[in-house]
Structure 1
Amino acid sequence: MKNSIFLTLLMVCLLTSCFNTPPPSFPEGDVVGYEPVYLTEVDNSIALTATRPVEDPGQIYVLGDLVFLNDVGKGIHIIDNADPSNPVNRGFLQVQGSENMVIRNGIVYVNQYNSLLAIDVNDPDNIEIISRDLDVLKSGEYDDQLPPLSGYYFECPDESRGIIVGWRLTTITNPKCYK
């Protein structure tokens, strides 16, 4: 009986030691790793700007004679389609980090990274942000604080640079963090 308890404890200790492996030594110079993507005040601003070419088309919604075309990660193109043979691009609603949107009763609901915005577009010349719910689209408290994959070096987060909204795999120099 004592031998089986001892053997069980020994197995538990051996198995748990596999999960507590220290990180490798930190290399000098350039390595492949993750760098944080920060949301700055400029990125966080919502603005109706001049028209621009579509780069990465996403979802499309129609509201009356207006077509709303999401340019993934950048914002929403507003196109006047009153004359379908001659559509007129009316402007670009800058919403950095946008991926999904829906329109209901003249309100565009769009994500901005992990936040959800409600924007009144009933009058396209006077677009108004109704609400901004910060970080409601996160699945956990620490979603963006660490890179998505293990086994990589990464740049340590720096709160003074803004809120981390994602990670980019790239070449980093002299990393000090590992996951």
Structure 2
Amino acid sequence: MHKLYTCLLGSILLLSLTACPLVQPVDRVPLPKYKPLLMPRIQLEQAVAVLPPQNMHNTGKIYLRDPYILINERYEGVHIINNQDPANPRPVAFLRIPGNVDVAMKGNMLYADSGPDLLTFDMSNMQAARLVNRVKDAVPELPMPETGDVPAEYQLQNRPADAVVIGWQKL
């Protein structure tokens, strides 16, 4: 008999909990909207250059190659900083690489993505990086940020045939 009362009391408690929700529904937060940044392929291939130091504003990955630090500027290229004196790091150059998100080094060779292409630079002289190879369409196209949405007018199927995605801009 005692088991019956315990089971009955437990059932009543469970039913009363479901009758009064503990969590109130919340409005869905709209996803941010993005548009692809496009560049004609010919312009992408001609845009790589070593420039004077630039301001940092949207940095990504950092690579240490003593005494230099390479800092990715998302979708734009790589800052080259002389860190011989860590108390006084000195920007020395900016390697413009449209669509760049990632870099890696082996020896004196820097490997960087440029939109869908894989570029190889000779970095023997960090202040005068030299492009030595481009492999077209070697990496997947830059994906849209995971927590976003693309309005219909910016869907990639509507882009010009020679356009390459070099980044994403929040609307």
Which TM-score band (shorter chain)? Answer: 0.5 to 0.7
Amino acid paired to 1:39:
P
Which protein has the larger Cα radius of gyration, Structure 1 or Structure 2? 2
Moved more, 123-132 or 95-104: 123-132
Q: Compute the TM-score of the two structures, normalised by the length of structure 1.
A: 0.61
Residue 38 (structure 1) shift: 2.7
Among residues 65, 68, 87, which one is paired with 2:67 in the alignment? 65
Note if contact 1:74-1:95 (Cα within 8 Å) is conserved in structure 2. yes
Task: Show structure 1 runs of 5+ residues with no match.
Answer: 1-31, 144-148, 172-179
| Cα separation, 2, equivalents of 1:79 and 1:109 | 17
Structure 2: 5+ residue stretches without partners: 1-32, 144-148
Q: Which has the higher helix share?
A: 2
Aligned match of 2:160 in 158, 166, 178?
158
Q: Which residue identity lines up with residue 77 of structure 1 in the other structure?
A: H
* CA RMSD between the two structures: 3.1
1:5-38 deviations in whole A, cap 9, x for unaligned? xxxxxxxxxxxxxxxxxxxxxxxxxxx9967723
| 3-state SS, counterpart of residue 117 of structure 1 | strand
Contact 1:117 1:133 survives alignment (8 Å): yes
Change (3 A) 1:105 1:152: same
**Deviations, residues 43-101 of structure 1 (Å, cap 9, x unaligned):** 43211101111111111111121111111111000000111111110010000100011
Identity %: 18
* 1:120 aligns with one of 119, 122, 131: 122
Code of the aligned partner of 1:103: M
| Cα distance in 2 for residues equivalent to 1:58 and 1:167 | 13
